[in-house]
Structure 1
Amino acid sequence: MRIIDLSTPVDAGQWEPDPVEHRILSPEEGGRHMAEAMAAKFGIEFDPADLPDGELLSLDTLTLTTHTGTHVDAPSHYGSKAAYGRPRHIDELPLDWFVGAGVLLDLSEEPVGTVGVQRLEAAFESIGHRPRPGEIVLLRFGADEFAGTPKYFTDFTGLDGPATELLLDLGVRVIGTDAFSLDAPFGHMIGEYRRTRDKNVLWPAHFAGRRREYCQIERLANLAALPAATGFTVLCLPVKIAGAGAGWARAAALIES
């Protein structure tokens, strides 16, 4: 089986709207830290100098949002109320949602803004396949080219409301994108709202989750490496964070040899 990594990293060295803080204790510092912690919490004392090379284990501490790097949005991220009942958190969702046949739609020629129903229908026709219930649809906009830069958060393409509803009508429960968001950039949406005064242009893809229970995989990468639009399995298990509206995921495509 061939495995293609579809994930962007959590990297404190890259630009983020909410910066990542990554603190590292070296193996030597980890030895001292463990000696101090064991003495303080359990009354167990040892000299870290007795360890081989005076080292124990390294330790990483990170401060970041659950929307950093590749992650899965849970229904509770979209709002506190939903037409179908209480929106579930990321730790409450069934794992079989996040392992399934993948469908890749290449929309990389689209400009900043939104994609609608007509464009999705053309994409289905071009690959000779309409998404089926339980399949995981991956939208390639080519946005990961700018990952790690401010442009990644301002210049990308999203889905409009009817396009999102179309995928949900087809039985899709998980929609992935290589962009920062499944919706259009903040500036674009606000500009459209000021022009039209239509509230439906504000986060339509996310707010669809208040009416229909579904998940998004945001900030995917490397979708161009997929050899075909179908014929692969998507694996995107989110980290089980109790009560959270999202969870980091190591997304990958599995392709049979």
Structure 2
Amino acid sequence: MVVKRLASQSGQGLKEFKNEVVLIGKLQHRNFVRLLGYNMKDHEMILLYEYMHNKSLDRFIFVKTLSVCLDWDLRFDIIMGIARGLLYLHQDSRLRIIHRDLKASNVLLDEDMNPKISDFSLAKIVKGRETEDNLRLYVSRIRVGRFSIKSDVFSFEVVILEIISGKRNTGNYHNQQAFSLISYSWELWKAKRVLELMDLALAESCNSIEALRFLMLGMDIESLPEPKEPAFVSKRSIERLPSSLSKSEINQMTITQEEGR
């Protein structure tokens, strides 16, 4: 059992506390962390969760000594588990819910490395057409604080990139003027070197075709249009170095649009 304690001076208040208790209490899915109990006493709010032996996903993918434990098959299963959890939230649950804070640190791993989505304090229940709200630009939505299911899909795509690359979304990417993992991935795509995004720990176990399909959320490669430049990329290109990809590999690749769908 894990205890999450929220003091009154913490960033999460009573509203977020109640939101998490209500939503996790109503949601039943194997890819969500289970809430065992809660208590409010002396200006402290306490949540009791099931114990996750391997803690959070970010601990494994960003710590090099641990990332070697994540071969391709295991990363494949983790991505699929997160996808099943999101599908339940967005489509299969009686309550249609936007998580609004999906990231690697909010995905916990049990003793068998099964992923469990956690932290529903910012989640929101939506109804009817609100879930199908059209987004002209994902960026404009974020700037005004508005979210839709497409916000979660975008966040999921970032998590996929982090799982496959072993890199954080924010960081210095080999001094290539890319200010995020999204922009770095886009520059590699334009240079026809996208497989270089792969974590070096996957050198022996990775299935490159499966990895590329994950970048497209498992959709049929031939049915997708050419990708458009995502909103967050740098305007500078990475250095032109000899490509390490064969022509046949390049011809099989495409990538989903970075805009929320």
TM-score normalised by structure 2 residue count: 0.21
Q: TM-score, normalised by structure 1?
A: 0.21
Higher RCO (C-alpha under 8 Å, 6+ residues apart): 1
Higher relative helix content = 2
Higher relative strand content? 1
Query: In terms of Rg, which structure is larger?
Result: 1
